[in-house]
Amino acid sequence: MRALVERLPAEDILFYADTARIPYGGKSKETVIRFSIENAIFLFEHSIKLLVVACNTATAHALDKLLQLFKIPVIGVIQPGSEKACQVSKSGKIAVLGTKGTIQSGAYREAILNKLSTAEVVSVACPLFVPLVEERYIDHPATRLIVKEYLKPVKEAQVDTILLGCTHYPILQRLIEEEMGPGVQIVDSAYTCAEKIAHTLAELQLENDQSQGTYRYFATDDPEKFRINGEDILGRRMENVALAPHPHR
Amino acid sequence: MRALVERLPAEDILFYADTARIPYGGKSKETVIRFSIENAIFLFEHSIKLLVVACNTATAHALDKLLQLFKIPVIGVIQPGSEKACQVSKSGKIAVLGTKGTIQSGAYREAILNKLSTAEVVSVACPLFVPLVEERYIDHPATRLIVKEYLKPVKEAQVDTILLGCTHYPILQRLIEEEMGPGVQIVDSAYTCAEKIAHTLAELQLENDQSQGTYRYFATDDPEKFRINGEDILGRRMENVALAPHPHR
């Protein structure tokens, strides 16, 4: 959202947060597909012109299905993130950190190898990162121990690039950098993804010509709690936050 | 479930696990009430004679509403757990550990003070315990650090009894005991709750007269994953595990 607002200030954005049913990271492919379709249909009812799947687990499990089902362009976060990692890496040794669902799907590995067939990919599921970030255990000794444990295979593989394959992980970026030491680049998909969205809108001549877009937010659990956390992450006021109506929650 | 099977072997039990939407611990009262009603209705469709809300967060937020709405007896885990803590405590200084939702609801504090008006209650939300248990970080140094941090106010208050107000927490019992040292009793609600259910069934003459009950399990996410985890916790084979049908998931 932050990357999109910066890159495409003229666009109207509807943000849908399924806070009643998160986290998706450990749930099955079938469930994540069902949730993703339900969430997409809510947005379609608001006449969106393009759908961004701004969640790595939902992209990993459900992007193919959404692309099959729906006519409007659908953009996930895995493709852009993988492209950026392949650009940045010199040695071709790339680590991917993500939820269980994202890692087990193999979606990042596949996207990286499609782009750079000689790449060596080390994939690590880091299921405790999301709850640690949500509890603001950002600079806690327990978090450092868990970072150290998860990154052990990454250090052993001597990668030069780490791809943060979950929206929460950039908040732990400094800890990850400290554990890895110098010489390792850390990439996330947000800005590359916003770039891809800009290209797609231009290509399809779908760009807005107004000067300033409007923003609306929907959450499936308590919208006030969502607004407080959201403003903290987004760094801007969120004016139009509403509870998503039944049955879309 | 394990306590019920031991105490009431003649009863048929339907177990419903909302694995697609857990955890409930950080979600709002309104959402937990909505989920709890949906889950209850699924069980009513299977003609149950008594409903056990075997989740502390659901009991804390939704028990009153379920009691208002439905005719059959509904039993939660907070009342029995609180009664046991009050029986066990000599000093009347009792700590309650639970999810954010359970602690913020004040339901345990209220139940304890109703039973023992002179009690001193220290309530601590331990939101990282559930993910740590689910990731099997049971005996990990990071878990020890987090236990130490959460228990700081409990040690300062010099309680003699700790009530484990979440179904996952008994798995961390040894760590909690080691952190607290001797002289502190740890109680959970499972067996007291099974006792209350037995009394209620006897009182209402609803007991089964067969020799051995049957067990059926429903999960809203992948039933196979649920079965594997369930057998591990339950210590018995789970034969009839099914995906709960739409829209009850």
Query: Do residues B96 and B121 lie in contact, with contact meaning Cβ atoms separated by under 8 Å?
Result: yes
- Supply φ then ψ for residue B201, to 5 degrees: -65, -40
What are the sequence ranges of the domains in chain B? 2-77+191-243, 79-188
* Mean pLDDT over the full length of chain A: 95
CA distance A150 to A128: 10
What CATH number belongs to B79-188? Answer: 3.40.50.1860
pLDDT at A233: 85
The CATH class given to the A78-188 domain equals alpha beta
**Interface residue B245 vs chain A (CB under 8 A):** no
pLDDT band for position B247 (50/70/90)? low
In percent, the amount of chain B with pLDDT more than 70 equals 98
Which of B126, B225, B123, B212 has the alpha carbon at shortest distance from B173? B126
* Residues in chain B, overall count: 249
Query: Do residues B93 and B200 lie in contact, with contact meaning Cβ atoms separated by under 8 Å?
Result: no
Task: Pull the structure tokens for residue B83.
Answer: 């009664």
Instruction: Check whether B76 has a pLDDT greater than 50.
Output: yes
pLDDT in tens, A14-45: 999 999 999 999 999 999 999 999 999 999 99
- Per the DSSP assignment, residues forming a β-bridge with A121 are A94
Which residues of A are designated catalytic? 55, 166
Instruction: Check whether A247 has a pLDDT greater than 70.
Output: no
Q: How far is A82 from chain B (nearest CA, A)?
A: 27
According to DSSP, residue B72 is labeled S
**Interface residue B135 vs chain A (CB under 8 A):** yes
pLDDT at A51: 98
According to DSSP, residue B34 is labeled H
Among B residues 31-50, those touching chain A with beta carbons less than 8 Å apart = 31, 35
* H-helix or E-strand spanning residue B62: helix B56-69
pLDDT at B249: 45
3-state secondary structure of B20: coil
Q: How far is B111 from chain A (nearest CA, A)?
A: 26
> Is the CB of A134 less than 8 angstroms away from the CB of B21?
no
Q: Does this chain's domain B2-77+191-243 share its CATH topology with B79-188?
A: yes
pLDDT at B233: 85
In percent, the amount of chain A with pLDDT more than 70 equals 98
Single pTM value for the model: 0.93
In percent, the amount of chain B with pLDDT more than 90 equals 95
**Interface residue A153 vs chain B (CB under 8 A):** no
**Interface residue A136 vs chain B (CB under 8 A):** no
For B155-234, strand residue ranges (E) read: 161-165, 185-188, 215-219
pLDDT at A232: 86
Q: How far is A201 from chain B (nearest CA, A)?
A: 34
pLDDT at A246: 60
Q: Which has the higher per-residue pLDDT, B37 or A233?
A: B37
As separate numbers, helices (DSSP H) first and strands (DSSP E) second, chain B gives: 11, 9
In percent, the amount of chain A with pLDDT more than 90 equals 95
Q: Looking at domain A2-77+191-243, which of 3.40.1710.10, 3.40.50.1860, 3.30.530.20, 3.40.50.300 is its CATH number? A: 3.40.50.1860
Task: Pull the structure tokens for residue A103.
Answer: 């890692």
3-state secondary structure labels for all residues of chain A:
CHHHHHHCCCCCEEEEECCCCCCCCCCCHHHHHHHHHHHHHHHHCCCCCCEEECCHHHHHHHHHHHHHHCCCCEEECHHHHHHHHHHHCCCCEEEEEECHHHHHHCHHHHHHHHHCCCCEEEEEECCCHHHHHHCCCCCCHHHHHHHHHHHHHHHHCCCCEEEEECCCHHHHHHHHHHHHCCCCEEEECHHHHHHHHHHHHHHCCCCCCCCCCCEEEEECCCHHHHHHHHHHHHCCCCCEEEECCCCCC
Query: Do residues A166 and A56 lie in contact, with contact meaning Cβ atoms separated by under 8 Å?
Result: yes
**Interface residue A138 vs chain B (CB under 8 A):** no
Q: Which residues of B touch A17 (CB under 8 A)?
A: none
pLDDT band for position B245 (50/70/90)? confident
pLDDT band for position A249 (50/70/90)? very low
To the query of whether residue B193 is one of the catalytic residues in this protein, the response is no
Instruction: Check whether B248 has a pLDDT greater than 80.
Output: no
Kindly state the average pLDDT of the residues A75-86: 97
Which residue type sits at A44? F
Q: How far is B152 from chain A (nearest CA, A)?
A: 15
User: Please, which residues have CB within 8 angstroms of residue A178's CB and are 6 or more apart in sequence?
Assistant: none
Q: Token pair 């950080």 is at which residue?
A: B26
- CA-nearest residue to B223 within chain A is A28
Task: Pull the structure tokens for residue B249.
Answer: 């998931």
**Interface residue A222 vs chain B (CB under 8 A):** yes
Of A31, A127, A141, the CB nearest to B221: A31
User: Please, which residues have CB within 8 angstroms of residue A248's CB and are 6 or more apart in sequence?
Assistant: A38, A39, A41, A42, A220
pLDDT in tens, A119-157: 999 999 999 999 999 999 999 999 999 999 999 999 999
pLDDT in tens, B12-60: 999 999 999 999 999 999 999 999 999 999 999 999 999 999 999 999 9
